[in-house]
């Protein structure tokens, strides 16, 4: 018989009617409190960080002449192609439905034909559902048979406390406030549902404690796993999360766990392959293999620090391997993280029957496993910006939630300390909620967002680029926009987005010679990148010349067409464009 954790029942436990009422009310409390705290997001605009590319300026989701279509030229395209280095067809399907529901023929001030409120409301509801799934997961893990043949008794309010830690923590704001973060929310919600259903499928019988298998729940859990992986490839960690619970918390035999999770691992293998092909991470500065565990350990410690003290949160922390490896503190953090993991493992081996070490180890390993693909052990695309990011921690926060729920449900709390715990938790959750509401303020607009990033990470190329793009469209702010773009290039020379924006700005200002130099620099930098990360700039001189000519500036267009012909002598398009530009110069405009 598999050994189970000791009961967390309290000798002063409330009677059954009270527990039944708590079990009914607790998930509703989790849902309502999370909904109210994060409701501010519904009225917020899109943010110009991927939202334009993925949603409101995406011609498949926000076409000019008609609502989005569902064929291969519309939403169906994403089931056969990756986009922005990710294969996430379920997410694009949900976005497509939201776009179809909110599409209008007249664009708003930002040029969007879809309503951000629909997208933010969807993100909010998915987050609330994820918090309820966390409650269901924790409630099942805290249930233990009262006695042989007796009914199982649980700790609904302990589970609710853990779920509220997950739902209200400020680290979750980025994932919910960022419309493009719906992919993380969907992957997280489906993944958590998969684990909860998996544990139901393998639940202990209440009469004899032996595992019993429920095929319907297992098949439904598997379907949720597939949906999670098609929402975002990071869901490949879900089998590992289920394994952590079974092996560490429930202490089930390894052989049975491997047999039950083997189909899940096989299902995730193609996801890993497709994800690696779509996002090779080759643009990231190479990190020696022996130093990657240091990056991973320090990154794990970083998340632990933000968990305990959620201040100075921002979209970009500048946590690049070459930068952080040069800091002595990185090595100290990595050593501390490793020492904690080893210490917990030793404690579990030393005190096999003690629930405490296993609860701490299970929570820590859950957090580690959830973050494993983005800790820096293998390169990934976003490391060009930062190894750590708040939205990566979304599912990882279930680990600390499990530890908190276990602490509250411990059987050795006397009545008097219990009277202290409840008010303390109320204060904690009020503080977390207030901090989250405040954090949403940094998502009220693109300029506010960008300046927050730069306040936390002054050398953020992403922050400078986003700010420059925003200011470029504001009358009288072109000088500030140029300064931001040049700062982005200075801090990250390979950041093509800032370079293309600078070319556009210089061209619109008529600074032809400078624009030509920047175009040559852009092409040179693009050529340095691995082939998988290069963009097509072969026609950039031709395109710039055509735009300049169409806007009534033929004298400036001549130079761009001439440069295009230098790259491609005899190009008929450039030749024709040059002819038209010269004719326009020679032919005075009629007054």
Cβ atoms of 445 and 45 within 8 Å: the answer is yes
For residue 252, count CB atoms less than 10 angstroms from its CB and return exposed for 0-12, middle for 13-18, buried for 19 or more: buried
| pLDDT band of 213, cuts 50, 70, 90 | confident
- Given a cut of 50, is residue 4 above it in pLDDT? no
Cβ atoms of 272 and 308 within 8 Å: the answer is no
Q: How far apart are CA 330 and CA 323, in angstroms?
A: 10
Q: Write down the pLDDT at residue 353.
A: 67
- The CA-atom distances, in angstroms, between 589 and each of 35, 59, 398, 559 are 61, 36, 69, 21
Mean pLDDT over 424-449 rounds to 95
Triad 409, 410, 411: Cα angle to 5°: 110
- Percentage of the chain beyond pLDDT 70 is 88
Mean pLDDT over 242-249 rounds to 93
| pLDDT band of 486, cuts 50, 70, 90 | very high
Neighbours of 208 (CB within 10 A): 11
By residue count, the chain amounts to 591
- Given a cut of 80, is residue 581 above it in pLDDT? yes
pLDDT tens, 145-156?
A: 444 444 446 789
Closest C-alpha to 62, from 85, 90, 41, 92: 92
Q: How far apart are CA 136 and CA 151, in angstroms?
A: 18
pLDDT tens, 106-123?
A: 777 666 789 999 999 999
- Given a cut of 60, is residue 208 above it in pLDDT? no
Cβ atoms of 201 and 218 within 8 Å: the answer is yes
Q: How far apart are CA 395 and CA 160, in angstroms?
A: 16
Q: Write down the pLDDT at residue 589.
A: 58
Q: Report the SS3 class of residue 204.
A: strand
Q: Write down the pLDDT at residue 283.
A: 61
Q: Report the SS3 class of residue 530.
A: coil
């Amino acid at each position: 018989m598999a050994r189970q954790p000791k009961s967390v029942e309290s000798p002063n436990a409330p009677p059954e009617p009270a527990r039944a009422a708590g079990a009914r009310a607790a998930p509703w409390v989790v849902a309502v409190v999370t909904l109210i705290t994060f409701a501010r997001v519904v009225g917020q605009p899109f943010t110009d960080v991927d939202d334009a590319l993925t949603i409101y300026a995406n011609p498949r989701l926000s076409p000019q002449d008609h609502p989005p279509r569902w064929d291969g030229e519309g939403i169906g395209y994403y089931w056969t192609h990756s986009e922005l280095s990710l294969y996430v067809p379920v997410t694009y399907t949900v976005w497509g439905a939201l776009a179809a529901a909110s599409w209008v023929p007249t664009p708003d001030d930002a040029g969007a034909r879809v309503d951000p409120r629909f997208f933010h409301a969807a993100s909010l509801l998915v987050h609330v559902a994820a918090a309820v799934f966390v409650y269901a997961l924790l409630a099942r893990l805290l249930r233990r048979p009262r006695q042989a043949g007796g009914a199982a008794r649980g700790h609904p309010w302990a589970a609710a406390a853990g779920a509220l830690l997950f739902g209200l923590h400020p680290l979750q704001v980025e994932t919910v406030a960022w419309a493009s973060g719906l992919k993380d929310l969907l992957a997280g919600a489906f993944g958590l549902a998969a684990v909860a259903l998996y544990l139901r499928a393998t639940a202990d019988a209440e009469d004899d404690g032996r595992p019993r298998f429920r095929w319907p729940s297992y098949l439904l859990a598997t379907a949720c796993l597939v949906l999670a992986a098609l929402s975002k490839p990071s869901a490949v960690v879900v089998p590992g999360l289920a394994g952590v619970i079974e092996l560490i918390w429930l202490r089930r035999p390894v052989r049975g766990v491997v047999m039950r999770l083997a189909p899940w691992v096989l299902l995730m293998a193609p996801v890993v392959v497709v994800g690696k092909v779509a996002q090779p991470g080759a643009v990231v500065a190479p990190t020696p293999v022996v130093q990657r565990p240091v990056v991973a350990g320090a990154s794990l410690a970083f998340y632990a620090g933000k968990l305990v003290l959620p201040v100075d949160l921002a979209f970009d922390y500048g946590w690049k391997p070459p930068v952080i490896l040069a800091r002595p503190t990185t090595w100290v953090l990595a050593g501390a993280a490793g020492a904690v993991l080893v210490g917990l493992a030793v404690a579990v081996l030393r005190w096999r029957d003690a629930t405490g070490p296993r609860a701490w180890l299970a929570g820590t390993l859950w957090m580690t496993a959830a973050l494993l693909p983005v800790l820096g052990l293998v390169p990934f695309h976003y490391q060009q910006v930062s190894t750590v990011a708040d939205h990566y921690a979304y599912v990882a926060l279930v680990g600390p939630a499990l530890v908190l729920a276990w602490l509250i449900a411990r059987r050795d709390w006397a009545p008097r300390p219990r009277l202290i715990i409840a008010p303390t938790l109320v204060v904690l959750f009020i503080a977390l909620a207030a901090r989250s509401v405040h954090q949403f303020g940094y998502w009220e607009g693109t300029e506010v967002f960008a300046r927050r990033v730069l306040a936390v990470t002054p050398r953020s190329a992403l922050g400078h680029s986003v700010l420059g793009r925003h200011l470029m469209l504001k009358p009288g702010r072109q000088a500030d926009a140029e300064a931001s773009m040049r700062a982005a290039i200075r801090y990250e020379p390979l950041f093509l987005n800032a370079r293309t924006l600078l070319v556009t700005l210089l061209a619109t200002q008529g600074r032809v010679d400078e624009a030509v130099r920047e175009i040559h620099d852009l092409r040179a930098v693009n050529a340095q990148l691995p082939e998988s990360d290069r963009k097509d700039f072969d026609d950039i001189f031709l395109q710039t010349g055509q735009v300049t000519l169409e806007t009534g500036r033929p004298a400036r267009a001549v130079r761009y067409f001439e440069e295009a012909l230098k790259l491609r002598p005899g190009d008929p398009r450039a030749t024709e464009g040059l002819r038209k530009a010269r004719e326009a110069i020679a032919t005075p405009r009629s007054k």
